[in-house]
Every structure is written in C-alpha cells, then in structure tokens.
Amino acid sequence: MASGIRDKVAILGMGCSKFGERWDKEADDLMVEAFEEAIKDAGIEKNQIQAAWLATAIEEQHVGKSGIPLAQALRLPFIPVTRVENYCASGTEAFRGAVYAVASGACDIALALGVEKLKDTGYGGLPQRSRGALNSMFWANLSAPGSFAQLAGAYVAKHGCNAGDLKQAMAHVSVKSHDNGTRNPKAHLQNKITVDTVMNAPMVAAPLGLYDCCGVSDGSACAIVTTPELAKSLGKSDIISVKALQLAVSNGLEAQHNSWDGSYFATTRIASTRAYAEAGITKPREQIDLIEVHDCFSVTELVTMEDLHISPEGGAIKDVLDGFYDADGGIPCQIDGGLKCFGHPIGASGLRMIYEMYLQLLGRAGPRQRKQPPVFGLTHNLGGFPHQNVCSISIVGRYGA
C-alpha cells in the first residue's frame, strides 16, 4: 500500500537567481545563475546528476517546448531532461518529478529547475495590454485581476463581513509582504509601503487596487535532491527532507456545479488535507512554522489561510489584522516578500518558495531569519483561476521530525 514520500528524499542543495526586470539576461543566464548556487551548495559534480526536470509555463515566449534548453545551458552530461508545465504550479511540478524519481529508486540524484523570462515579451496579467498568443487568443475576455476580484466579492457575501474590513486586511497583507521584501536582496521589489498608499492606490478590478496585485518578473530557482542516506554520505549533517507533495486539479465542479459558491479554493482544501496526512501533521496551526502561499493577489493570500485549515472559516481577516501572519507572528507568511515582492516568473515561483523554506530551516536566511529555526515549512501554488485551477502543496522539514 502506498505510504507517501515522507523523509524518503532530502534536498541536497538549492539556488535562486535575483528576480526582477533582467533585461540584460536571457533565460539561459538565469538558469545558470540559479544552478551554480545550487550545485555549490550541494557539494557535488555536475556529472553526478542523473535526471533533470525543467519547469516553464509560457514556453512559446522564450525557451521553447523541450528540455533541450536546460541541457544546453547547464551542459548536462546527456541525461534525461523533462520539461513540465502546470500553470503557476509548474515549478513545484518539476520538484515533484525529481523527488519522485529519487523516492522510486530510479536515480540517486536529480535536478529540478524553473525559469521564466517574461519582461521582454510584454506578458502581463491584463490581456488587453499584453501581446502574445496566450493573451490575445485564449484569454482575450478574461483577466486575472477580474477573476480574483470576484473571489473577494463572494467571500464577503458568504461570511457577511464588512467589505471595508476585508479591504483593510488586504492592505495589511500587502504592507506586511513589502516590509519582508526589504530584507531580501533577491526580491524584485524592496520598498516599504503604507496602508494609506494601498487604500488610495488606483483601482485595477474592485476591490483590488494596484498594490493588491503581484507583478511580472524574470527569475529562476533550482533544487538538487537525493536520498537522506546519500546526503549524509556526502557530508550533510543537517538534513532537510521532503515531508509531503500533493497536487489537486479542478475536475469541473467549481465551474459547472452550483455547490461551489466562489468564496474559496476547493483544490487547496483538498491538497492541503492530503499533504498534512502524508506529512503526519494533525494540527497545522500549531505544527506548521512558516508558509509561502500563492499571493498573486492580496485576497488570494487571505482566503488561502482558511483553505490551508490554519485560520477558521471566516476568521482570516481577524488573524491577518492581529498580525498572526507577520514576520514576528505565529506563522509568518511570505517572510521573503512573496509573489508580491518577487513578481511571478511562472515556472520559477514554486521552487523559489521552497528555496526560502530551505534557507529558513537551515538558519541561513540572513536578516529575515526566524529567531527560532522552523521545523516544518509549507509552500502553496495556485495555477489558473478560482473556478478552474491546479493547486500544489509541498511540506519540507527537518529529517526525522
């Protein structure tokens, strides 16, 4: 009977490029930047990597459809390279491929890398202001801000909360993430903002203003994984292992059945429940130490707190305003700045989140390091729209915990 992957795979090394408007770099350069940090951290030679997974979502815009760009950029030794894409969960999907390969015994050391080079292409979240086949043909009448604004309206309707209180909590989410981002040299945006700035910003899709939305950026992140036993034999004394990896994909219920009221993400509730069971976590609010969630919009982060079964239903506004998710709160969320400050190079974001968990677990996060190094860290990606999406959850932590 399947037992999951808890403690079967260790993270040997990780790397992350600087995120931002990297006009002077190609996707290849960003891949190399992340990989060089990861392989140095892993303490191995390139020829010890036996398989690789490349994540990139908008491949038509930059690297193309195959795994060849990764093999060529890194000069990998003629090993299998698989390109994966699963909307905004693409980076975690690459990680899942590498982790499963090691857990199955198919290889000893595997690589996962995500990259996206979007600034040069004009890609953006508002189709009418962007160019490229994806925006002009497939999503011509749909925008991400518009879809997630509907989530906010449904949340207010369901819970009977004051729309002003929701807007205040959304502003707190954005201010908190920007404050965290000032302590991260790899973040795209490293500027503090105020609640007044958020509340008085130009409206994008009511109630989402400018500072409620994450931006577009270029970036890459990378992980090298192996077994805990091999990690120890390679000299690693502080082992960070994978506790759970779960993926839930919309099956049509949200868009095609009136049992879904539009106020939550069904996939997140299902994937997180499975992940907690796989990791052996029974009380997430007490056992999870850090979270990185898919804060494409401030309201998404707020609603996700409930869908992860950390805040009670209808209780996220209070938890957010009480500072429970602040850097010095009960469970810091986006302690590195999140999508809000890193932007969202789609293929890289999931691995970038795991990178932050990895640094925090090892006590290597610099000025943003949690005083008490965490035991369990959770990352969450949401790809698509509230009514049709994929959700990936990863939980990493100290080996044996």
Query: So which residues are the catalytic ones?
Result: 88, 344
Q: For Cα atoms 288, 290, 292, give the angle at the middle one, nearest 5 degrees.
A: 120
Task: Give the C-alpha distances (Å, rounded to integers) separating 25 from 16, 221, 313.
Answer: 15, 15, 44
Here the tokens at position 26 are 């190609």
φ, ψ at 242 (rounded to 5°): -85, 125
φ, ψ at 144 (rounded to 5°): -65, -45
- Measure CA of the first residue to CA of the last residue in the chain; give whole Å: 23
The label of the residue with tokens 């930059």 reads 62
How far, in whole angstroms, is CA 339 from its chain's centroid?
8
From the list 298, 271, 116, the residue with the least C-alpha distance to 208 is 298
DSSP code of 52? E
Long-range contacts formed by 180-183: CB under 8 A, 24+ apart: 180/327, 180/332, 180/334, 180/335, 180/336, 180/337, 180/338, 180/341, 180/368, 181/336, 181/337, 181/338, 181/340, 181/341, 181/342, 182/337, 183/366, 183/367, 183/368
The label of the residue with tokens 């965290």 reads 180
Cβ contact 386:254 at 8 Å: yes
Amino acid 230 reads: L
Amino acid 242 reads: V
- For the chain, helix, strand, coil in percent to 5 are 40, 20, 40
Amino acid 118 reads: L
- Dist. CA 183–CA 26, nearest whole Å: 26
Amino acid 388 reads: Q
Strand-pair partners of 84: 55
